[in-house]
Structure 1
Amino acid sequence: MSIGNSPQDERPFEEDRDDREEAARPSIGRALQQARIAAGLTVDDVSSATRVRNAIVHAIEDDDFAACGGDVYARGHIRTLARAVHLDPEPLLAQFAAANGGRPAPTPAAPMFEAERIRPERRGPNWTAAMVAAIVAVIGFVGFTLVKGGDEGTQASEGTAPTASQPPSPTPKKDKPTDPKPDPSDSAIAAAPRDKVTVQVSATDGRSWISAKDHNGRLLFDGLLKQGQSQTFQDNEEVNLVLGDAGAIQLYVNGKKIEDEFQPGSVERLTYTKGDPEVG
């Protein structure tokens, strides 16, 4: 009879290390909450930017995915919230899949014969019609050349000795003043009415989610603005903005460029009124 540990108690050191790393890794909800706080965003900001209700955002940060309505919706909410707080969603989705039985089965593709049946038939070029058109063009060109040559010989024989004709002196052309072209960056809002406040938001150095409201608090826009895209907002009194990544945004207010140097990744809350650009 041997004395010692049973085979069940002999676990490899690699498994112990994996268990410790798994225990040290934060949960999905905790990771999303930490990233949101690090970005300086509230739950209301994330909810406005993603259109995910506040209650669902709170539930996901508490690792309660029952309110999502199923694993497919839960994965979609995790991806949307991760992008809003500048977090890579793939590790979180892999962690969710490991805890919930893997990814859902893909939807089967349609049968191949359906696509083949509706594919239009290719027709070759109509060479006969092309040859007929070419022959007609050659005959027409030859006939036109013969007729033109006969007319010129008749005119030369009927007249007297031809005299060298001098070309008419060209009349001087007056240079028309060119209309000055407006700066492309200011042309979209240069004609902004003075009795309103006009704000143009352009994502010039990256992408950023933005939220815009009028003076009554009515939501004018909220969502992700990709690089190269722009939005213009107007109101009778003021426009309120929330910029998720202010360093990627260029602002034009009432026809003037805002020269504020926002830092990349910073969240800015701004209010602009009529007249000269001024932040409230």
Structure 2
Amino acid sequence: MSIGNSPEDERPFEDVSEEDRPSIGQALRQARIAAGLTVDDVSSATRVRIAIVHAIEADNFAPCGGDVYARGHIRTLAKAVHLDPAPLLARYGTQHGGSPAPTPAAPLFEAERIRPERRGPNWTAAMVAAIVAVVGFVGFTAFTGGDSGDGAGTQVAEGSTPTPGKPASPTPKSSKPADQKPEPSDSAIAAAPQDKVTVKVSATGGRSWISAKDHNGRMLFDGLLKKGDSKTFQDNSEINLILGDAGAIQLFVNGKKIEDQFQPGAVERLTYTKGDPQVG
């Protein structure tokens, strides 16, 4: 009688030559079939797109978008079909120029940070927001100005009725098309209304793929942010984010910078609400 691991614990590879050993895609496909799973089942369980699952099983890693994402997909798919990902990752490194410097990257779409429900009124955040709103209003009023006192007429917005006795000066036409809306600045985000959640995503450390949805699951953005690019999202109750390389991203939620120490190459799934960021 032998003492040690059972045959099932010795998966995924037997002691065979490199030529006889199945490829990464073949090993994942064989394990999936042995587990009685379809490609749709694996895609639903891992959040990896069906097209990417098919490509990896065919040993085509180009659709992954780079080595970091390819390694994350291999690790996630291997766990879904009950394979040890370490031999597959080692073989990928041998075939594609070695392994990158080790980073504590989270498994793709495996860790999900959901903020806790708000337990009570956040008076500190409310006071700060109120002060910022007042300062913003005073600054806006000082910038636009009131009556100049030199006899000049008061400007009237298009469609309004001029004040009797004071001729309205013509409203200058904007050089920008009416349908173009500039993204909110940091001060505008800080003065965001309390009944909404506002999230600004900036690719300060490099490029990163991001996805953003509102509380109904409607897609707000799905694409690649280049270094220096920013996107701002707003919803009545919550914003759901997926960051492909969280270490390259800087977040501002409801006017406050998120201080989480995201690691380079880490994939993060985040949800923010009107009460975030939590204080204390």
Do these two structures clear the TM 0.5 threshold for a shared fold by scoring above it?
no
Higher relative contact order (CA 8 A, sep 6+): 2
**Which structure is higher in helix share?**
1
- TM-score normalised according to structure 1 size: 0.42
Larger radius of gyration: 1
